[in-house]
Amino acid sequence: MKRIDPTIRFRIGLAPGPDDREDPASRHGDEGETFVPPIDIHEGTDGLVLEADLPGATEQNLRIELEDNVLSLYATVDSAIPEGARLIHEEYRRGSFHRSFILSDDVDRDRIAAELKNGVLRLVLPKADRARSRRIEVKS
Amino acid sequence: MGGTHWQGRWDPFRELRNEMGRLFESLEPFQLARRTYQYPPLNLYDAVDRYLLTAQLPGALAEDLELSISGETLTIRGERKRSEGVKDDQYRRQERPIGRWGRTITLPDRVDAALVTAAFSNGILTVALPKAESAKPRQIMVSTTTEAAPPNSRGESGSRGESSS
């Protein structure tokens, strides 16, 4: 039984964050690049669960914002590489992570929970009670 | 924010296409290289007396990472699993890679395998590989004495002289 349930609507990199507005030129700097983190979204018992790969992110440098219906993630990753070390091979660049999602009204904003562990952010987006009962009506 | 999401009803396929478009537009040379990338992405630094290898391994657990070193070759292995108890049909979107992975890296020079250390924090693995004595940059003292040959080589030539007589 597959059903598409637009409980959460998401788009990528759409909402300019306050930081982006301040200095768009910083994107071209060595440390100023912004990356779109890969995510998984799955249905949990009480709504949707979103997991984002944010390697290097800590609670101090992670910001989650909810403005109107746009949920935005920002993480600015500091480098632990000592000064004087010379980069000799590079497969990933350091910089910040940013991704935004559009939440539908079905998400209970007051109960959104976040947990950051080993560089993975897990966001629980519970369904509002109203939304749950509405779905039952549609099915019958 | 353009607010384009209000136009028409939600169409996941259109979103996917938009995303693909954005992916291709924003491709920088480095990101292009990452399309054929190996997991996990690694950076290697030369910190004078040691090499530092960093790897992005979000979601990994330190105890599940296997590291081994032999000569100048470092091997890292592990497995990235899906979140526990989540079934296929519960996924709406799956972008994060899963499965067994392994990487073998040949270092530019010899390292002291006994002194290699590794730390894992916030999804980043950092391996410190002290260079072997012979591989470390060293300063060579320039002697100002008139004596040309160092003492040990003089001893060698002496013993050679004895055996030949």
Tens place of pLDDT for every residue, chain B, 165 residues?
333 333 344 444 444 444 444 444 444 444 444 445 689 999 999 998 999 999 999 999 999 999 999 988 999 999 998 888 898 889 989 999 889 999 999 999 999 999 999 999 999 999 999 999 887 777 788 888 765 555 554 444 444 444 443
* Contact assessment for residue A121 and residue A97, using Cβ atoms and an 8 Å cutoff: no
User: What gap in Å lies between CA A103 and CA B14, rounded to an integer?
Assistant: 17
**DSSP 3-state assignment of B16?**
helix
Say what the pTM is: 0.68
The residues, any chain, with a CB within 8 Å of residue B111's CB and separated by 6 or more, are: B50, B51, B69, B72, B129, B130, B131, B132, B135
User: What gap in Å lies between CA B79 and CA B59, rounded to an integer?
Assistant: 10
User: What gap in Å lies between CA A15 and CA A99, rounded to an integer?
Assistant: 8
The domains found in chain B, sorted by start residue, are 38-85+93-137 (2.60.40.790)
What pLDDT, on a 0 to 100 scale, did the predictor assign at position B130?
A: 94
B152/A66: higher pLDDT: A66
Nearest-neighbour CA in chain B from A117: distance (Å): 7
B83/A91 touch (CB, cutoff 8 Å), yes or no: no
User: What gap in Å lies between CA B62 and CA B118, rounded to an integer?
Assistant: 9
**Residue A42: which of B18, B46, B90 has the nearest Cβ?**
B90
User: What gap in Å lies between CA A132 and CA B8, rounded to an integer?
Assistant: 24
Kindly list the residues from chain A whose CB atom is less than 8 angstroms away from the CB atom of residue B46. Answer: 85-86, 88
What pLDDT, on a 0 to 100 scale, did the predictor assign at position B5?
A: 38
DSSP at A46: S
CATH, range A8-78+93-139: 2.60.40.790
Q: How many other CB atoms are there within 10 angstroms of residue A115's CB atom?
A: 11
Pairing state between β A33-35 and A95-103? parallel
Q: What type of residue is A71?
A: L
Domain ranges across chain A: 8-78+93-139
Composition of chain B by helix, strand, coil, percent to 5: 30, 30, 40
Q: Which of B63, B68, B96 is nearest to B80 (CA)?
A: B96
Q: Which of A68, A78, A56 is nearest to A100 (CA)?
A: A68
B5/A11 touch (CB, cutoff 8 Å), yes or no: yes
Nearest CA in chain B to A80: B126
